[in-house]
Amino acid sequence: MSRIVTLGEIMGRLAAPGFQRFQQAMPGSLDVTFAGAEASVAVSLARLGSDASFVSALPDHELGDACLAALRTHGVDVHHVRRTAYGRLGLYFVEAGINQRPAQVVYDRDHSAFALTPADAYDWPSIFAGATWFLLSGITPALTRTTAEVALTAVREADRHGVRVALDLNFRSKLWRWDPDLPPRDLAATTLRGLMPSVDLLLAGPGDAALLLDAAPDADASDPAAAEAIARRLAQTYPRTRRIALTRRAGQSATGTAFGGLFADFIHNEVHHAPARDHLHSVPLVVDRLGAGDAFTAGLLFALTSPDLAAPADTIAFATAAGCLAHSIHGDFNLSTRAEIEALVRDESAARIRR
């Protein structure tokens, strides 16, 4: 079984119930779960059957205990999570979008334990011992100058230990504020480009990919030819990166979004498209927009490390179905099984009750 390591911040996610606005739900009750891109990927991988390890820093109190207990419940290895006497649990608040109203996210992450923990606090040789892949998200270097240094150290240490590096760009415009001399997009572009010499697999949306290409931020990958052109430009610009996956979304509303993808494997000179799909071609209904990209990333890594799914066409089909199914589940963690993902790949009807 392949060991896959992810590193990032796990947070408390506080969501307004249903499709309420914050002003309707507060004062009152919010739905509390745990979330974070790299933690979500680790959970999905573990549930699919991978040996998934999550690396982070959490305050050494009861809330940190609850985070670790939640990850262990899903089978994630948390032995390399640092417990600190400083910092707090990061939070984010989410108001679900519906119809023509987009979702809203409010971050409350300053001075978290993860944001304050330096690179030399982590035992990199132990973290990467026996690992085959390391996943980092662009959210980690977006938080603070300290976490940007952690990200750079992590990819270099992974490379030094012979571990392949996957980077999911995950640009968040509300983050990237730690250098007041640079606008967020410029800071993100400069920092993320510094990671690319160590990256073997790049995952991105089309707008994210533009950060690495000096392209317009509204770069569009909804057209298969445009998506392939973006992938080829990325490969030419960053010769170490021989595998590139792009997510593709189609739809005109927050709750009517279909999910697709492209996988360019320049090791084998193959490019495969998975058309943007809803739930078996019905009217798409997104229960929760957050976490689909993380489910796609986990599906891709799981497929690449599974001999029966490693062919590029099978890899992108599995990853896209995983991302699509994540739209049907509340919370950031994708709780879909391998059997459910493969059933969607086969286009088995979801209208029939399984009993």
Percent of all residues in the chain with a pLDDT value above 90, rounded to a whole number: 69
- Average pLDDT along the chain: 89
Strand order in the sheet with 31-35: 31-35, 11-15, 91-95, 104-108
Find out whether 264 and 232 touch, Cβ atoms under 8 Å. yes
Q: pLDDT of 128-172, one tens digit each?
A: 999 999 999 999 999 999 999 999 999 999 999 999 999 999 999
Report CA-CA distances (Å) from 36 to 7, 136, 213, 265. 10, 12, 26, 28
Q: pLDDT of 28-39, one tens digit each?
A: 999 999 999 999
Residue-range domain boundaries for the chain: 3-345
The C-alpha R_g of the chain, in whole angstroms, comes to 19
Q: How many helices (H) and strands (E) does the chain have?
A: 13, 14
Could you report how far apart the first and last alpha carbons of the chain are, in Å?
A: 32
- What is residue 280's predicted lDDT score, i.e. its pLDDT? 40
Report CA-CA distances (Å) from 74 to 199, 335, 346. 28, 9, 26
Q: pLDDT of 213-250, one tens digit each?
A: 876 555 555 677 888 888 999 999 999 999 999 987 76
- What is residue 218's predicted lDDT score, i.e. its pLDDT? 55
Q: pLDDT of 276-293, one tens digit each?
A: 655 444 445 677 667 688
User: Tokens 């006497």 identify what position?
Assistant: 85
Q: pLDDT of 57-75, one tens digit each?
A: 999 999 999 999 999 999 9
HSE, side-chain direction, 13 A CA sphere, residue 1: 11
- Confidence band, pLDDT 50/70/90 cuts, at residue 21: very high
Write down the CATH superfamily of domain 3-345: Ribokinase (3.40.1190.20)
